[in-house]
Amino acid sequence: MKNINDMIMVVILLSVLLSLASSRLITLIKIMAVQGFLVSLLPLLLEHHSSMGSGGLIFFQVMILTKGILIPVLLYVALKRIAIQREIEPIIGYHASLFAGLIIILLSVFITDRLHLAVPSGQELILTTAITTMSAGFFLMMGRKKAITQVIGYLMLENGIFLIGTALIKHFHTVYMVEFGLLLDLLVGVMVMGIILHNINHAFDDIDTDLLNRLKD
């Protein structure tokens, strides 16, 4: 089991790096689909979650469906309506972003090392992955101009927080009804953001957040 876990986490890390380096928005959405799928798969394979009941299994199925399929499809629909394919002129360039991604990984390893948390053996990588995903999400939100990339950054941040949750919190706290609520919030959030995105595109003919500068003091 250990190898599979490590492999998944390495793929998640790679997806983070890839998302920092890609300029095509459709590629970004595909990466998010893979990342969402893996992030929701991971808890199923972790040892302290192995004894879960039927409620848990249903929950994880719903989560895989939502994060791996539903949300990417919503983003895809939003992208199709907008008819913009690339992030042009990001605030931070792609090579610089990739390099920053590597630094983020190093920092995460350092932070994980310093925390001295008792993580079950074979899962040392999960905290590193979680912190990297979170920080990279923040980085995407700040380093890109297109509104849709910011939504993707938010999703990545949310994925990272979810990973931290699964890594740190013991099984008996997990009440699946509560987690359904979390997932529902995320889903509705993406829908609302998608609708606003569509309207921004309609009003400004672009989804550049630089255009949103009318309200100032």
Partner 1 sequence: MLELIFILPMLTGLVTLAVPPYLGRGVLLVTAILHFQLTIMAWLGKLPVYAERFFSETPEGMLVLLVTSFIFLCIACYSMRYMEETGLSNGTVFPGCMLLFLGTMSMVTLADHPIVLWIAIEATTLVSAPLIFLHHSKEALEATWKYVLICSVGIALALLGCFFITLSIDIAEIEISLSFTFLNQVATQLDPMWLKVGFIFVVIGFGTKMGLAPMHTWLPDAHSQAPCPASALLSGALLNCAFLGIYKVHTVMYLAGLGEFSGNILIGFGLLSMFVAGVFILRQPDYKRLLAYSSIENMGIIAFGVGIGGFALYGAILHMIHHSLIKSSLFLSAGNIHLGFDTKIINRIGGLIKYFPKTFLSFFAGFVGISGLPPFGIFISELFILIGAFQTGHPVSAILFMLSMLLVLAGAAQIFTNMSFGVREHEVLVRENVLRIVPPYILLLASITLCVWMPSAMYTAIMNTIKIIGGTIHG
Supply angle C-alpha 12, 6, 41, rounded to 5: 60
158 binds partner 1 (CB under 8 A): yes
Instruction: Please choose, out of 12-20, 26-34, 81-89, 151-159, the segment that lies near partner 1 by the rule CB under 8 A.
Output: 151-159
With CB under 8 A as the contact rule, the residue among 10, 103, 106, 178 that binds partner 1 is 178
CA distances from 177 to 58, 64, 181, 182, 184 (A): 11, 16, 7, 9, 11
Supply angle C-alpha 33, 123, 161, rounded to 5: 45
CB of 169 to partner 1, least distance (A): 5
Between residues 136 and 157, which has the closer beta carbon with respect to partner 1?
A: 157
**DSSP assignment of 126-191, as one string?**
HHHHHHHHHHHHHHHHHH--BHHHHHHHHHHHHHHHHHHHHHHS-GGG--HHHHHHHHHHHHHHHH
161 binds partner 1 (CB under 8 A): yes
Instruction: Please choose, out of 4-12, 67-75, 99-107, 185-193, the segment that lies near partner 1 by the rule CB under 8 A.
Output: 185-193
Instruction: Please choose, out of 11-19, 53-61, 68-76, 162-170, the segment that lies near partner 1 by the rule CB under 8 A.
Output: 162-170
91 binds partner 1 (CB under 8 A): no
188 binds partner 1 (CB under 8 A): yes
Structure tokens of 191?
Answer: 């829908």
Determine the Cα–Cα distance for residues 155 and 35; give it in Å rounded to an integer. 10
**Residues touching partner 1, count (CB under 8 A):** 39
Helix (H, G, I), strand (E, B) or coil at 24: strand
Determine the Cα–Cα distance for residues 20 and 152; give it in Å rounded to an integer. 11
203 binds partner 1 (CB under 8 A): yes
With CB under 8 A as the contact rule, the residue among 34, 62, 107, 196 that binds partner 1 is 196
185 binds partner 1 (CB under 8 A): yes
Closest CA to 163 of 121, 130, 117: 130
Q: What is the x/- site pattern for partner 1, positions 106-145, by CB under 8 A? A: ------------x---------------x------x----
**Which residues bind to partner 1, rule: CB under 8 A?**
118, 134, 141, 147, 150, 154, 157-158, 161, 164-165, 168-170, 172-173, 175, 177-179, 181-182, 184-185, 188-189, 192-193, 196, 199-200, 203-204, 209, 212-215, 217
